[in-house]
Structure 1
């Protein structure tokens, strides 16, 4: 795994090794990340974005977004292996001053004490309905900006949640990525 473009371009990320089967650690492949970020570049959401990476795994999605112009990224994961990999990857990118790691279950986040996030990566373990639950937690907790873009990775296309508008849904092998704007009518 590596950072594909931007400030950290070409930086190799920590190897997942045997990973953590119990935590369903499944990094987004370089090919899927490259395709996803080609789409995100055209939305204009990356420049100076505040990024929330839920079920962050290795942190590759959040770090790629930071590399491509994001302002700050907050990673949320509760896996022992995952949080170690995220911290190592933050260090490899020398981005500690622009990153925060919350070691917590994404379904148990408290109310957000800071500014809401513009770009939310939602990459839960496939097929467990955790994405819908996590989205409700971050919405009710004030984590999602009014005009935020949700990037939801699953093994099936995800239904567009109430209050959101579909940007696009794409299939990459066994991975589906659904992009949804919150309150699309207010985007300007």
Structure 2
């Protein structure tokens, strides 16, 4: 994997082969950040990276100047790798080793962008639990986005607070927004 833009642009990061991950492709990541670049000043936002895996998305935000990044993953190897990489590059990434659903139930730390890259084989009920917990617990700041990455074969358009989706090859990003704004 490589960092697309920012101060660490073109840096390659090689994750251990034994991690249970499926990193977001460079093409999909570049397209996602093109969308986000038009809506946010990266140095002014906070990010919550759920099912962080290799930390691919967190590194991209850090490279673009985001100072408040929290990466959540339940795999010890993933958390260790993110910590090592963040330390090596001096990136402001905090990690939490936790089951994402338990973390979302307990945290009271809202973010401007919440990115979730759960296993593609999740059931629709498991996918639905992500926006349900995010919005029930008011974890998305005003004008923020929840982005869920999933297979193009999964349709999340019927979930609460769904806004729109973008497809990139076999990857799809579904965007959720707080619809209860005044």
In the superposition, the TM-score normalised over structure 1's length comes to 0.83
Query: Partner of 1:76 in structure 2?
Result: 72
Residues 52 and 117, structure 1, Cα contact 8 Å, conserved in 2: yes
Distance 1:184 1:43, change over 3 A: farther
Among 121, 125, 128, the residue aligned to 2:122 = 128
Give the match for residue 159 of structure 1. 157
Aligned length: 177
Q: Do 2:146 and 2:177's aligned partners in 1 also have CA atoms closer than 8 Å?
A: yes
CA distance in 2: counterparts of 1:124 and 1:150, whole angstroms: 13
Ranges in structure 2 where 5+ consecutive residues have no aligned partner: none
Q: Which residue of 2 aligns with 1:107?
A: 101
Query: Which of 166, 170, 173 is matched with 1:174 structurally?
Result: 170
1:26 matched to 2:22: yes
In structure 1, what is the Cα distance between the partners aligned to 2:38 and 2:145? 13
Going from structure 1 to structure 2, the CA distance change for 1:146 and 1:5 (only over 3 Å counts) comes to same
Aligned partners of 2:142 and 2:181 also within 8 Å: no
Cα contact 1:152–1:158 (8 A) shared by 2: no
Task: Provide the rounded CA distance (Å) in 2 between the counterparts of 1:41 and 1:184.
Answer: 24
Gaps of 5+ in 1: none
Deviation at 1:35, TM superposition (A): 1.3
Displacement, 1:185?
5.1
Is the CA contact 1:62–1:121 (under 8 Å) kept in the aligned structure 2? no
Superposition deviation, residue 84 in structure 1: 2.1
CA contact (8 A) 2:45 2:68 kept: yes
| Normalised TM-score (structure 2) | 0.85
Partner of 1:138: 134
Distance 2:127 2:65 in 1: 26
Which residue of the partner structure matches residue 7 of structure 1? Answer: 7
- d(CA) in 2 for partners of 1:45 and 1:33? 17
CA distance in 2, matches of 1:36, 1:47: 17
Hey, which bits of structure 1, 4+ residues long, moved more than 4 A? Answer: none
**Cα separation, partners in 2 of 1:113 and 1:171, compared to 1, 3 Å:** closer
Is residue 147–residue 184 contact of structure 1 (8 Å, CA) maintained in 2? Answer: no
Query: CA separation in 2, counterparts of 1:159 and 1:16?
Result: 35
